[in-house]
Structure 1
Amino acid sequence: MPTRLTRAILFALYQTSVAASILLLPLAIMTRQAGVTLPAHRVVKRLEQAYDTTV
């Protein structure tokens, strides 16, 4: 049971991080033009790896 719960939470977090990254895309483009990058890809990649290890 804890594995199912962990998997469900990781899946929800992963999907939420992908959606947040898409929503923040205009902000990321503006900040990149200013010379600053947002590390959203790191969060998505780590959650993807964590979910893949539970599956």
Structure 2
Amino acid sequence: MKSRAHNALLFAMYQLCIVVGIAAMPLAIVANQIGLSLPVHRVLANVGEAYENARK
């Protein structure tokens, strides 16, 4: 069983990724207009999956 500290750390990382994604939105829009993409969605998916697996 995972410790409470581990679960809390994963939850904090997940929330931090969401905040960074929201803060990077203007940069992502500009990058998209010039043909680039930021992989924030992949980071968020990976951290979210780790958090969900730790909760089980």
In the superposition, the TM-score normalised over structure 1's length comes to 0.94
Residue 3 of structure 1: CA displacement?
1.6
- The answer to whether the Cα contact below 8 Å between 1:3 and 1:54 also exists between their aligned partners in 2 is no
Q: Does 1:27 align with 2:30?
A: no
RMSD: 1.3
In the superposition, the TM-score normalised over structure 2's length comes to 0.92
Gaps of 5+ in 1: none
Moved over 3 A (4+): none
Gaps of 5+ in 2: none
| Percent of residue pairs identical | 39
